[in-house]
Each structure stands twice: as C-alpha cells, then as structure tokens.
C-alpha cells in the first residue's frame, strides 16, 4: 500500500525539539532531534503504536529510504517522539494523522528503555511508551511518502515467521516490542482491544 498524488508537506525536522529524560521518564530538558540521535544518542521520549484490525492482523510500515536511521526497515504501525510541550496522547494522535492519515483510540501498554546503533550514522536511545489501537482494514490510509515507503496488514503468524527468519529486515525496537507483546502482554492486548488476537 503506497502513497500516490502530490507530495504533502514535511512533518518532521532534524531541528525539532524532543524531550530529554532520565530512565524514570522524568523530564530533564529538550534536545534537537539531530543531537538526540548523534553518536551514542541522548535519552529522550518516544512512542510506538501497534494498530490491529478487527480480524487480528497488524499494520506494519516500511520506513522511507530518506530516513536517517534504519531506512527501508519494517517496523510497527507508527513510531515517533513527543515534541517539546506535548503529552503522549497529543503526540500519538498527531503522528497517526501525519504518518497514516488516521485517528483511533489508543491504549497504553508499557514503557521500556533501549538503545541501538545504526552503522556509523547514529543511534536510538529512548524511553519508549507502547500503545495499541484497533482500526478497520477498510479505513483509507494515506502514508506520508517522506516517512513511509510501504505499509501492509500482516497476520501475527506472518510476523512471527519474519522475526524468526528475517530479523535483519526489522527495526531493533520492533523486535524488542513484538517479543514483549507476544510473550508477556498478549492477554493485556486482547483486553484493551476487546477482541481475540490470535
């Protein structure tokens, strides 16, 4: 599922101010997106969203090749950062609209800290909050071409197979999150979505 038509305005910038935090997610100040991802990275807030269809499939996106870190990799439905002055609810809904052209209720699952290096280009070092939501597959998606080169619905079994056989095609945060969801959070996901996720 790819985007067509005229290119929409950019929705992110290396100069935007992200929220610098400690390991307890307490605010320490702000930092530019560029600086937050330089070298070993500086710990900052982030979020990841998993959108499930009513039949239990999961929407994954393939990151645009213009992305600085992990271009062309497959990852969860939507992921980004709260900006200076934004709450998590504000940031997650903003980014869903910007990246996919959708909005839906989201349910918080958990928060974790991780770091990962991408070649010699830079790093992610984030306190990341994970959310799930439900979206009808018939809903029209408008993926932003500067953020997403493709997006598709996958069965959970298809994702498990890709994780086992092609982990190098997936972002490091997605691998950590999918393991946590399927190992420790599956009943919580089902409860939050009010459906059976198989």
Dump pLDDT digits (tens) for 5-38.
556 787 777 889 999 999 999 999 999 999 999 9
Q: Note whether residue 4 is domain-resident.
A: no
79 is catalytic: yes
Q: Are 73 and 169 in contact (CB under 8 A)?
A: yes
Give residues with Cβ within 8 angstroms of 18, minimum separation 6: 30, 31, 32, 33, 36, 44, 45, 81, 82, 83, 84
Q: How confident is the model at residue 139 (pLDDT cuts 50, 70, 90)?
A: confident
When pLDDT is cut at 50, 70 and 90, the band that residue 4 belongs to is very low
pLDDT over threshold 90, residue 179:
yes
- Give pLDDT, residue 2: 46
Give domain status of residue 5, yes or no: no
The pLDDT assigned to 138 comes to 87
Kindly give the interhelix angle for 172-184 and 156-165, rounded to the nearest 10 degrees. 130
85 assigned to some structural domain: yes
At residue 66, the pLDDT reads: 94
CATH of the domain at 105: 3.90.79.10
Average pLDDT over residues 147-153: 97
Whether 88 maps to a domain, the answer reads yes
Residue 37 lies in a domain: yes
Residue 166 or 196, more confident: 166
pLDDT value of position 197: 59
Contacts of residue 177, defined as CB under 8 A and 6 or more positions apart, other chains included, come to 48, 50, 76, 112, 128, 130
Q: What's the pTM?
A: 0.92
Q: What range defines the domain where residue 137 resides?
A: 17-55+76-145+172-193
The active-site residue, picked from 57, 99, 124, 126, is 126
Q: What is the pLDDT of residue 9?
A: 80
Q: What is the mean pLDDT of the chain?
A: 94
Q: Count the domains in the chain.
A: 1
User: Which one from 78, 79, 128, 151 is the annotated catalytic residue?
Assistant: 79
Task: Give the model's pLDDT for residue 3.
Answer: 46
**Cβ atoms within 10 Å, residue 177:** 23
Per-residue pLDDT tens over the stretch 99-116? 999 999 999 999 999 999
| pLDDT at residue number 98 | 96
35: in domain: yes
In a domain, 44, yes or no: yes
């Amino acid at each position: 599922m790819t985007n067509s038509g005229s290119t929409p305005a950019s929705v992110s910038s290396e100069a935007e101010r992200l929220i610098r935090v400690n390991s307890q997610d307490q605010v320490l100040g702000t930092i530019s997106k560029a600086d937050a991802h330089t070298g070993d990275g500086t710990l900052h807030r982030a979020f990841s969203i998993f959108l499930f269809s009513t039949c239990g499939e999961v929407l994954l996106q393939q990151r645009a090749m213009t992305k600085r870190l992990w271009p062309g990799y497959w990852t969860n439905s939507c992921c980004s950062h709260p900006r200076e002055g934004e709450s998590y609810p504000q940031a997650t809904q903003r980014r869903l609209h910007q990246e996919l052209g959708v909005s839906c209720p989201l349910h918080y699952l958990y928060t974790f800290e991780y770091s990962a290096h991408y070649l010699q280009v830079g790093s992610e070092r984030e306190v990341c909050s994970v959310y799930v939501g439900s979206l009808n597959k018939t809903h029209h998606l408008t993926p932003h071409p500067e953020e997403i080169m493709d997006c598709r619905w996958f069965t959970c079994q298809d994702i498990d197979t890709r994780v086992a056989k092609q982990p190098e095609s997936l972002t490091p945060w997605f691998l950590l999150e999918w393991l946590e969801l399927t190992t420790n959070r599956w009943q919580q996901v089902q409860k939050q979505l009010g459906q059976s996720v198989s």
